[in-house]
Amino acid sequence: MRIAMIGTGYVGLVSGVCFSEFGFDVTCVDIDADKIARLNAKEVPIYEPGLDALIERNLAAGRLAFTTAFDEAVAAADVVFVAVGTPSRRGDGEADLTYVYEAARQIARVMREGTVVVIKSTVVVGTCRKVAEILRAERPGVDFSVASNPEFLREGSAIEDFMRPDRVVVGAEDERAEATLRRLYQPLYLRETPILVSTLENAELTKYAANAFLALKITFINEIADLCEKVGADVQKVASGIGLDNRIGGKFLHAGPGYGGSCFPKDTSALAATGQRHGAPLRLVETTIAVNEARKRDMAERVLAALGPDPEGKSVGIFGIAFKPNTDDVRDAPSLVIVPALQARGVRVVLHDPEARAQAEPLLPGAEWRDNPYDVADGIDVLAVVTEWNLYRGLSLTQIAGRMQGNTVIDMRNIWREEDVARAGLVYRGIGKGAASKRSDPLQTVSN
């Protein structure tokens, strides 16, 4: 089976490469000639662990190709995936479907009889039916199928998520579309991966509902963290206590500076806008969005408070700029709110991130960068951990303390233990750590 993957952004590139690893012939298409040239030269435009090795292996095996030749790739394909961007539309938060609909028009020109067009982009309810209308209008009389196959890939672990997913969601309403998607995911049968087949609308909404629920879960534990600080509790112990309930689960219960990235911000906005448009407002989602944005500003205020009443002229070092570890993605990252807020008060800001500098540097003018994390500590008044890269967990706190001018560490990800920081002579300020919590015994899991 021959696949054409339209779009070599994060979703399209990872999905196309992984399908080729499954043994299918995949051609990834993009209008960006420079990106295609780099990919053919085995230069990966994003940081995703393990992706470079898969690209090299499948290029060598002849199962994977990168091209700008849209017509040729689509005309030869049995299945055409649309994996173009759906950014938030300015003004109303709706998903901008311009690229999806334009891809549909271009596909219609050259698709052959029996082509299955699969929407992998994150799209609002009703998009797949609109795509079918476009295909039908552009090529009347040509037989085709339309399916929805939303992605659930976490940046930093996308290959594992594709190869070992919790489930595969398919929206398909004819036998050919369903059979095609089942065949594409057949390599997962040995792992007994559930394949959920339903209507187009159900598949489209499942993606948004899943991301909104996870964003809500993050926001919930962040608000609990604020309460912990007021009442003398420890949010990590509370999260453990509720996470052991299998109705809740422990994932996404890690307090921090708020969510960011390419999915949660735009998907929650799009879902909230969809609810408003259909007269079914999603108040929990709307509140989640507002609380998360306020969370990022609050983190900046915490750093400013640590600098004292007159922060101008003082300096802050920041560990981690990407919105999460194991990616170079800085879209809607908390750091993009925190750093400018500090600079606006006259604070000198020194940054380190093991992968995100190239993406972030143009967005943070005036900030200083260091290649070595220890160098960030030189002469600074406050050190803040914003992204929990494993690299930072093993740093020598004594060495950091010896290079700082001040003595305050604001650990927004709770990667260090307070006693270890104190032993190095530093003052520790974590997230959700009430002053009285240190007097309490940690929750223990007891087995009989």
Task: Report the C-alpha gap between 248 and 241 in whole angstroms.
Answer: 10
Question: Domain 2-198, what fold?
Answer: Rossmann fold (3.40.50)
- Please tell me the number of Cα atoms within 13 Å of 425 on its side-chain side: 11
Count of CB atoms within 10 A of residue 172's CB?
A: 25
Give 197's strand partners.
170
Q: Do 2-198 and 209-438 show the same overall fold? A: yes
Query: CATH number of the domain at 209-438, please?
Result: 3.40.50.720
What does pTM read for this prediction? 0.92
Taking every pair of Cα atoms in the chain, the longest distance, rounded to a whole number of angstroms, is 76
Task: Report the C-alpha gap between 427 and 429 in whole angstroms.
Answer: 7
Query: CB of 151 within 8 A of CB of 7?
Result: no
Task: Report the C-alpha gap between 203 and 205 in whole angstroms.
Answer: 6
Q: Kindly tell me the burial class for residue 28, based on how many C-beta atoms sit within 10 Å of its own C-beta (0-12, 13-18, 19 or more).
A: buried
- Catalytic residues, by residue number, are 263
- Please tell me the number of Cα atoms within 13 Å of 227 on its side-chain side: 8
- Give the pLDDT of the chain (448 residues) as one tens digit per residue: 999 999 999 999 999 999 999 999 999 999 999 999 999 999 999 999 999 999 999 999 999 999 999 999 999 999 999 999 999 988 788 999 999 999 999 999 999 999 999 999 999 999 999 999 999 999 999 999 999 999 999 999 999 999 999 999 999 999 999 999 999 999 998 778 999 999 999 999 999 999 999 999 999 999 999 999 999 999 999 999 999 999 999 999 999 999 999 899 999 999 999 999 999 999 999 999 999 999 999 999 999 999 999 999 999 999 999 999 999 999 999 999 999 999 999 999 999 999 999 999 999 999 999 999 999 999 999 999 999 999 999 999 999 999 999 999 999 999 999 999 999 999 999 999 987 555 544 444 434 3
Task: Report the C-alpha gap between 361 and 356 in whole angstroms.
Answer: 8
Task: Report the C-alpha gap between 241 and 252 in whole angstroms.
Answer: 14
Count of CB atoms within 10 A of residue 358's CB?
A: 11
State the alpha helices, DSSP H only, in 248-393: 264-277, 283-306, 335-344, 357-360, 373-376, 390-393
Query: CB of 114 within 8 A of CB of 176?
Result: yes
State the alpha helices, DSSP H only, in 173-282: 175-184, 200-231, 235-243, 264-277
Query: CB of 223 within 8 A of CB of 299?
Result: no
Going across the sheet that includes 368-369, the strands are 368-369, 348-352, 315-319, 382-385, 408-411, 427-429
* Domain range summary for the chain, segments of one domain joined by +: 2-198, 209-438
Going by C-beta distance under 8 Å and a sequence separation of 6 or more, which residues neighbour residue 170?
147, 148, 149, 178, 181, 182, 195, 196, 197, 198, 203
